[in-house]
Structures are given as structure tokens and as C-alpha cells.
Amino acid sequence: MTYQTILFDVADHVATITINRPEAMNSFTRQMMEEFAEVWQKISWTDDIHVVVLRAAPGRAFCTGADVKGAITGGNDTPVVDLNNIWHCEDPGDKLGPKSQRCWKPVIAAVHGMAAGGAFYWLNEADIIIASEEATFFDPHVTYGMTSALEPIGMTYKMPLQDVLRMVLLGNDERVTAEHAKAIGLVSEVVPLDALWTRAHELALQIAAKPPAAIQGSIKAIWQSLDMPRSVALANGLKFPQIGNPVGVPQVDRTALMADKAKKYTLR
């Protein structure tokens, strides 16, 4: 498939997806929704891909949500949501998000500039989020008279409820800085803008070097547990190490790893 709204590249077991509509604040269209649905399936079924870096073309924004302006002015793309038939309205996040597409490869999101509204379809389903120092996060829906529901519900699994509600209710009147996003647990690391993509790739390479069966099993077990009561989640989670640990051919030499006394690690 030839992509029109994203860039896609694979090297060293790392797939890099770049949201590529800088002229429209990297906002998403129906075309982009279809392309993400396809690319997540491609990543899922390509064994050579172990981890994903999700980033956006340079400019003022990582993503400002749906391209509402383009739809209103009669752009080349059809509206993200067709309101003419309310019984067939779909959630854009079902195609944009990796977990919604049942892709269990780890996703590292590298956020710069503005991340607003529909950008959280990606952020809510990313496994690691790092941000540049000037990045900001906000939800403009209510400012424009639109109910904010889907994105903030997803946010509650990553952010304290009071911070989600404050973001929703203040709309365009307040933006969360990268440092505050780190303080409330949305972002795990803040770096200078010129180091953002490099740092995301460094993390991706560290993850990609680990046994892929263990990584994907861990991702799937943890994310699926979010839809279950605790006892059910634990019972279901037990199946993953039973299936995923004694893989037919071990993907790592455990004895050699345990014997290595010069272990290297970083502190965060």
C-alpha cells in the first residue's frame, strides 16, 4: 500500500511511523484512519518488526485531532465522522490506535509541539510516551461546543481523574506542559526537541533487542487486563507466561544472561 498521510520505514526490527500532514497541524483525516488501520495490521503480522516508534512531521504540532477545518471547507478528504447516519457513526480511535487494532507490538510515542483532542487516540494506546520540552497537551472539544468523551475516557487509564476533568473542562484556556505531563504520569521522559527522535529510537532499539515473544506476550496480557476485574485479570494473565515462556526454541540464552556479572543499566 502506498501511504499518502503517513511515512513508514523499518530498520533494525524497529518500525517508524511518521504522521505526515504538517501543513494541517498533522491532523487526521479519513484517509489517515484507513492507512493506520492497514499499517497496524502490517506491523502485527511482520515478525521482523519488534517495536514501533510513532512520531509526527516537524512543525507546531504532533497532532491537533481530526481535520475538522478541511471537512468544513470541502477538502479532498471525506469527513472523519459521517453525521448523516447516526447509527453508523464510528469511533476514529478504532482505526488509529494500535491496541484497538489488536496490535501487540510495543509503541513508543515521541511527542513535540501541540498534542490536542484526537491526538489522545494514539497517546492513550502508546506503551511509552516521551515528549520534547516545548510539548503541550490539551483538549479543545468543549471550547467549540463539542462533548468530549472518547479521548478523556481513554485518558483516565493513564492520568488521574482530576487532571483529565480539568483538561476537558478548561478546553483551550489551559495547556499541560511536558514537565507537568511527566509529573502526572502521562509522559515518562522529557528531552530537548532536537534529541526527541534520537531518544525514541534509542529506547526502541533496547526493546527490540529483547525476545519478541516475551515482549508481545507482556503487552497483550497487561492491556487485556484493563477490561477485567482483578481476579479475572490475574487468572487470565497466568496463561500468558505458561504459553509464552517455554517457547519451542528459547529466544534468549538465560544461563549466559544470569552469568553476566557486568550488567549495564541506566537510572531514571
| 260 falls within a domain | no
Whether 34 and 152 map to the same domain: the answer is: yes
Decide if pLDDT at 170 tops 90.
yes
Whether 53 and 123 map to the same domain: the answer is: yes
pLDDT averaged over every residue in the chain = 91
| 268 falls within a domain | no
Q: How confident is the model at residue 115 (pLDDT cuts 50, 70, 90)?
A: very high
Of 11-20, 146-155, 222-231, 239-248, give the lowest mean pLDDT range: 239-248
Angle between helix 230-244 and helix 212-225 axes, rounded to 10 deg: 170
Q: How far apart are CA 118 and CA 148, in angstroms?
A: 10
For 36-83, what is each residue's pLDDT tens digit? 999 999 999 999 999 999 999 999 999 999 998 765 444 556 667 666
Whether 101 and 179 map to the same domain: the answer is: yes
Whether 60 and 180 map to the same domain: the answer is: yes
Whether 242 and 167 map to the same domain: the answer is: no
Whether 118 and 244 map to the same domain: the answer is: no
Whether 62 and 49 map to the same domain: the answer is: yes
| 192 falls within a domain | yes
Whether 108 and 241 map to the same domain: the answer is: no
Q: How far apart are CA 232 and CA 228, in angstroms?
A: 6
Q: All 3 cell numbers of residue 21?
A: 500532514
Whether 173 and 83 map to the same domain: the answer is: yes
Whether 178 and 229 map to the same domain: the answer is: no
CATH of the domain at 82: 3.90.226.10
| pTM of the entire predicted model | 0.90
Whether 170 and 248 map to the same domain: the answer is: no
Q: How far apart are CA 249 and CA 30, in angstroms?
A: 42
| 32 falls within a domain | yes
Q: How far apart are CA 53 and CA 230, in angstroms?
A: 30
| 1 falls within a domain | no
Residue-range definition of the domain harbouring residue 248? 212-252
